[in-house]
Amino acid sequence: MDLLDVVLLLVGGLVAGTVNTMAGGGSLLTVPLLVLAGVPGNVANGSNRVGILASTVTAAASFRRLGVSGVSRMVPVLVPVVAGSLTGSVLVARLADETFERVFGILMVPLLLIALRPPKVPLASEGPAAWPVPVTAVVFFFVGCYGGAFQAGIGLLLVLALSRSGLDLVVANSIKVLVILVVTLAALPVFIVGGRVDWGPALVLALGFAVGGALGAHLTVGGGERVVRPVLVVAVLGLAGRLLGLW
């Protein structure tokens, strides 16, 4: 890594940690940044998990200090998400680096569309009823599979699913942070054992992620989740084209 790579990873981690905590999709920025810094695609996917772990720890601590906690509401989704995460992380570790970069580049487009239309939480009086337990288990197992495999955008998927029960967006985000923390703890060892973490860039990125996680929690509670979305849109469009070889 040169100095420019270090600066880009720090700034990218800060932005992504903030975006991930407030809505989701920050890894759409950081995984391509790792690739541009010379980290192979699937190694970038694993290295990114170190930053995710750092940001979720600081975000969860910040939500707790601010009086927002989703611990009691995360239990029904935790087991299927963790099971799915282990399944997805084992499967994606078998992909070649070039294959992963192509798959990730294609996935960035629909995930960006989700990011542009964040979930709206309905009023409790008009919101849909919570899913039955079997449906909840299936939905969150597949969310976990996606998160274990690709990570990017799992926060958006979790908030979309959690909002089905009419949760307040701030509470939904606090639950999302805790679930992603557990998912990352379950999936990261798979990438470490498989040699899919480049520790130098990963730790630099994690520093930015940690600060962004705490900042994002404060902005979420204060209602400022749209502040960084334009930056994410520009970065995703540019870097998606780069991964797909369009320029």
Q: Is pLDDT of 7 > 90?
A: yes
Binned at pLDDT 50, 70 and 90, residue 126 comes out as very low
CB 129 within 8 A of CB 226: no
Binned at pLDDT 50, 70 and 90, residue 195 comes out as very high
In this predicted model, which residue has the larger pLDDT, 209 or 159?
209
CB 206 within 8 A of CB 56: no
In this predicted model, which residue has the larger pLDDT, 69 or 225?
69
How many other β-carbons are positioned within 10 Å of the β-carbon of residue 98? 11
pLDDT of residue 166: 59
Q: Is pLDDT of 145 > 80?
A: yes
Mean pLDDT calculated for residue range 26-55? 91
Number of domains present in the structure of the chain: 1
119: containing domain: 3-243
Binned at pLDDT 50, 70 and 90, residue 33 comes out as very high
What would the pLDDT profile of 48-85 be if each residue is shown by its tens digit? 999 999 999 999 999 989 888 777 777 778 888 888 88
pLDDT of residue 40: 92
CB 57 within 8 A of CB 211: no
For the whole model, what pTM was predicted? Answer: 0.76
Taking the C-alpha atoms of residue 144 and residue 66, their distance in angstroms, rounded to an integer, is 27
Q: Is pLDDT of 124 > 80?
A: no
pLDDT of residue 127: 43
Share of the chain above pLDDT 90, in %: 30
Mean pLDDT calculated for residue range 165-178? 78
pLDDT of residue 123: 44
In this predicted model, which residue has the larger pLDDT, 99 or 142?
142
Binned at pLDDT 50, 70 and 90, residue 41 comes out as confident
Taking the C-alpha atoms of residue 48 and residue 26, their distance in angstroms, rounded to an integer, is 10
Of 2-6, 78-82, 99-103, give the range with the top mean pLDDT.
2-6
Q: Is pLDDT of 152 > 60?
A: yes
Mean pLDDT of the residues in the chain? 79
pLDDT of residue 159: 77
CB 219 within 8 A of CB 197: no
Task: For CA atoms 217, 233, 162, 180, give the dihedral sign.
Answer: negative
pLDDT of residue 89: 81
